[in-house]
Amino acid sequence: MSHQLLYVSAVALLAANVNAPVSANEISQHLSTIIVPEPIKRIEPKYPVSAARQSREGWAIFSFVINEEGSVEDIILKDSSGSKDITKAAKKAIKKWHYKPAMENGKAIQQCVNTVKLDFRMHGSSTKGVSRKFKKKYDKAVEALNTKDFARFEELLVQMNNSKYMHLSENNYLQLLLAQYAKEMGDKRKQLHHLRRIANSLESVNEAQQFSVLYQVFNLQVELSQFVEAHATYEKLIELPSATPYFEQFSEVIAKVESIISSDKNIVITADIEKDYWSADLVRNEFSLTNIEGSLHTLDVRCANKRHVYTVENNNTWRIPSSWKNCSIYVYGEPKTSFNLIEHPVDI
């Protein structure tokens, strides 16, 4: 494979973006005191040889911390298209990145709310379809789901998930199937998880499919009180021409979301840890972790200009200073641990 066949692109989404539901005045104040980090050296990932030979594309999303010296540390894989070699190549490159550190009132500080998506794309020769082997299993899984033979369906899913390397189109089909299964099981959180993975590679589908996926993601995010993410999805939706007839409906939903955030009611989110951690973007400055069933051991609070790591006990409450901007939390514990995140009303 020659160099002309492939390229890798990085899309950086730094913390000073518009994801957080803050007022124009707050945004102005934030930008006047904090200077975000500037990239000095950002090495492009090497396209894995095996992926290039197979014309296999993919993506990976990471969160990371930029320390006071401008080096990258504490890299967390947030999501990926499923190809382990692509994820490994992306993380290896990020470790070598270097920034001019963020500054607050003239002092270098950590910059913690940094998210990057690395896309691995082929020039014109990528595999857009699926393999015969995949299609055979996929068709059987669809039949099992339609006939509600869930034992057979789960058996086929294990076989499909055992694939170490999967084409992007195959991963999208698999995620759609998993979303349909989660909906059948009444598990909205898992349904959202799988639809969101499709949403991360929408450039490979047509506009009607983009609208369908984003519309479902938006509704589920609102229903599950994932308000920061819902606002980001809303911004993507209104860019689609096919969304024009729904503008009024979307605006009404966003207005209700903002009303909930500013209300005197608790915002309760049900959570569970599937593998290593669970994460959420906060809309309020005070929160608790309650009803822990299992074991949680670490809370990593990452804000635009601050970061703190805490131990966790049931019913612990944290109050974040208003000067900490755009905060997210990463909760670590044993797999299958469930708990509630409660965001408490803001002080009036």
Give 302-347 pLDDT, tens digit per residue.
988 788 899 999 999 999 888 888 899 999 999 999 999 999 997 6
3-state secondary structure of 304: coil
- Average pLDDT of the segment spanning 29-46: 68
Q: Tell me which of 180 and 30 has the higher pLDDT.
A: 180
Task: Give the Cα-Cα-Cα angle 174, 180, 182 (nearest 5 degrees).
Answer: 100
What's the pLDDT score for residue 28? 27
Q: Return the pLDDT at 35.
A: 58
Q: What percent of the chain has pLDDT over 90?
A: 60
Per residue in 168-185, pLDDT (tens digit) is 888 889 999 999 999 999
Mean pLDDT score, 197-216: 88
Q: What pLDDT does residue 261 have?
A: 94
Selected residue with higher pLDDT from 15 and 339: 339
Task: Provide the pLDDT for residue 174.
Answer: 92
Q: What is the DSSP string of 101-159?
A: PEEETTEEE-EEEEEEEEEEEESS----S--HHHHHHHHHHHHHHHTT-HHHHHHHHHH
CB of 130 within 8 A of CB of 167? yes
Dist CA 5 CA 286 (whole Å): 50
Helix (H, G, I), strand (E, B) or coil at 298: strand
pLDDT at 21 over 60: no
- pLDDT band for position 128 (50/70/90)? low
Domain spans, the chain:
3-122, 128-185+198-205, 206-262, 267-343
13 pLDDT band, cuts 50/70/90, is very low
Torsion of CA 222, 225, 231, 236, to 10 degrees: -50
Does residue 9 register a pLDDT over 50? Answer: no
Q: pLDDT band for 230, please (50, 70, 90 cuts).
A: very high
Matching CATH number, 267-343, of 3.40.50, 2.40.50, 2.60.120, 1.10.287: 2.60.120
- pLDDT band of residue 14 (cuts 50, 70, 90) is very low
Cα separation, 57 vs 50, whole angstroms: 11
pLDDT of the residue at 103: 81
| pLDDT tens digits for range 231-259 | 999 999 999 999 999 999 999 999 999 99
Higher confidence at residue 21 or residue 327?
Answer: 327
Q: Above 60 in pLDDT, residue 127?
A: no
Query: What does the pLDDT average to over 292-299?
Result: 95
Query: What percentage of the chain exceeds 70 in pLDDT?
Result: 87
For the residues 39-43, what does the mean pLDDT come to?
A: 87
CA dihedral 215, 219, 222, 226 (to 10 degrees): -60
Residue 34 is predicted with a pLDDT of 52
pLDDT of 1 higher than 90: no
* CATH code given to domain 3-122: 3.30.2420.10
Mean pLDDT of the chain: 85
Question: How many Cα atoms are found within 13 Å in the side-chain-facing hemisphere of 164?
Answer: 5
